[in-house]
Amino acid sequence: MQNFMRDAIQIESRELIVQINNYHETFSENDIRSSYLDGYFQILRTFYCSFYHLDSDDIMTKYNEIYNRDNFERKDIDIHIQGHKNLLNSFLIINCWSNFELFCTVFCNAILPEGQIKNLLELDYQRLNKILKDIEIGEDVDNKLKKLIKNHISHSPIINKYGKLLKMITNYPDNRDKKADREFLEFFGTLRNCMHSNYIYYGATDKSYTFNGETYTFTNGQLLSHNPSTERSIYDLTKNLKDIFMVIAENILFEDEIYDPSVELIS
């Protein structure tokens, strides 16, 4: 399975280089649409090099250096190697989602009319007002409720931003399903949040999601259940996330450059 995964990442990485060059020509290098692919490539490259370094003989040298020994055998560190790989799997999921979230925030901020951005900022406040519409709450309470209004679109929940973007695509690609893609994004966000809490799910609703024949079960207060569990599945999830990004980037037309301020962090 690992050799199959290794080949898949090699192929994807080489295709990414071509896609990145095309996006640089279409949108410019500093455009958020290009930056997303650049970021995904960097994350995938780091994952690939680190993941397969753990299978090399050099890792034994590193362990001997750390523990000041020279008699480690491979079987002595196998369980630790799997721990390294689990951390790298988390790295891949968390960083790919952060990359997607940055894209959604910068893209929405650039292309959405001022009124739609205002609606995103006030969405929680308006929803609660709708629930309380038959109750006289008074000015003082209303002022407190207005604290729910976000100051910047970056504080707006990601689910609202990608939901807005998906709605804007009227001619969705024939080989994809918009509803299925949205459900996938909701699952991916839940998975990422679960990783931040040591793989324990805390949510009001128990749920499960099946992707490529593997089922992820989220039960409140319990460890994430993943059955069956394969290393390849984590990579497949991030590739599907990239594919959804490309649907959004290539089907919502915006001719001006959407500058990505994060490029200034890299000299």
pLDDT per residue as tens digits for the range 163-186? 999 999 999 999 999 999 999 999
Residue 160 in contact with residue 128, Cβ under 8 Å? no
> Which residues are paired to 227 by β-bridges?
215
Report which of 13, 154, 40, 180 is spatially closest to residue 97, judged by C-alpha positions: 40
Give mean pLDDT, residues 244-256. Answer: 96
From residue 127, give the alpha-carbon distance in Å to each of 119, 136, 162: 11, 16, 18
Residue 221 in contact with residue 197, Cβ under 8 Å? no
pLDDT digits (tens, 9 = 90+) for 19-77: 999 999 999 999 999 999 999 999 999 999 999 999 888 888 899 899 998 888 888 88
Q: What's the pLDDT score for residue 266?
A: 59
Give mean pLDDT, residues 178-200. Answer: 95
Whole-angstrom distance, CA of residue 176 vs CA of residue 103 = 21
Share of the chain above pLDDT 70, in %: 99
The average confidence (pLDDT) of the chain is 92
> Which residues are paired to 225 by β-bridges?
217
Residue 252 in contact with residue 165, Cβ under 8 Å? yes
Give mean pLDDT, residues 97-120. Answer: 95
